[in-house]
Amino acid sequence: MIVGGRVRGYKANYTGINAKELGDQFRATLYAVDADGDIHYKEVFTNSIKEFVLNQMDTTPAAVPFCVALLNYGAAAQVYFDYDTEHLANESLTDDQKIVPVPEATATSSVTGDFGGTITPSVMLRNKVGLTVNFRLNTGEYTGLDNYDDFKMVVKNAKGETVATMPASVLRSTATLIFFTASYEGVSAEQMHNTFSFTLYRGDTAISNSLNWSIEA
């Protein structure tokens, strides 16, 4: 940050914290090397996402539902991945606080198009939440090609805007059908209700039906 022509502060972002790690302590400090090669550094700052979120609950009442949901999500991830389950992210919450009103789920899934075949989606619970989509094409047209570099999955939002293009790989094939798979991990927490469409392309041409799906569905 530069004020009056002078550097008044520095900012850095770190995005490598997974849901199961909300309660972990992270340490950061600022290092600098001057023109003479001397190293300068500030004191070490230590904090966790959990502590930050609990502080937000005390200072920002409007954020309480989101904060509680985030801590519950972190705790659920710890249990699912069997990670430091003796110190759950939501352990500081009362039983009443842990209950967050959740809107009724309304999302549905559908398949559109006239290509035939099947499309099978599944939720990925890894470092990020995403979708893996398997496409079955009832044709041998694409079996035994020299390479499949131009096969891809195109992801669009509800407005029809392309939000990602992911490489597609062959799972298996026969003389009469072929299976492709592709994954998309770009779904953020506030988008789990949003519907995305997933279509298999070869180059600029769609070769599969489109799956309309969401994490909620």
Q: What pLDDT digit, counting tens, does each position of 85-97 carry?
A: 999 999 998 888 8
d(CA 99, CA 198): 34
Domain count, the chain: 2
59 and 14 fall within a common domain: yes
Q: Is residue 30 part of a domain?
A: yes
Query: What pLDDT score does 191 carry?
Result: 75
126 and 183 fall within a common domain: yes
126 and 195 fall within a common domain: yes
Among 25, 60, 81, where does a domain finish? 81
d(CA 210, CA 84): 40
Domain enclosing residue 188, as ranges: 110-213
**Ranges of residues in the chain whose predicted pLDDT is under 70:** 1-5, 7-8, 100-109, 124-129, 189-190, 217
Query: What pLDDT score does 96 carry?
Result: 82
Q: Count the alpha carbons within 13 Å of 161 in the hemisphere toward its beta carbon.
A: 2
| Residue 170: strand pairing partners | 180
Query: What pLDDT score does 4 carry?
Result: 57
76 and 116 fall within a common domain: no
pTM of the model: 0.59
For the chain, state the CA radius of gyration. Answer: 23
| Residue 168: strand pairing partners | none
Query: What pLDDT score does 127 carry?
Result: 54
d(CA 174, CA 143): 7
Helix-helix angle 49-59:64-81, to 10 degrees: 160
Strand order in the sheet with 196-202: 110-112, 205-213, 196-202, 151-156, 162-167
Q: Is residue 197 part of a domain?
A: yes
Query: What pLDDT score does 107 carry?
Result: 54
Q: Which two tokens stand for residue 94?
A: 């009362």
Angle (CA) 9 10 12, round 5°: 155
Query: What pLDDT score does 145 carry?
Result: 84
183 close to 161: Cβ distance less than 8 angstroms: no
72 and 126 fall within a common domain: no
d(CA 158, CA 108): 13
Among 81, 97, 128, where does a domain finish? 81
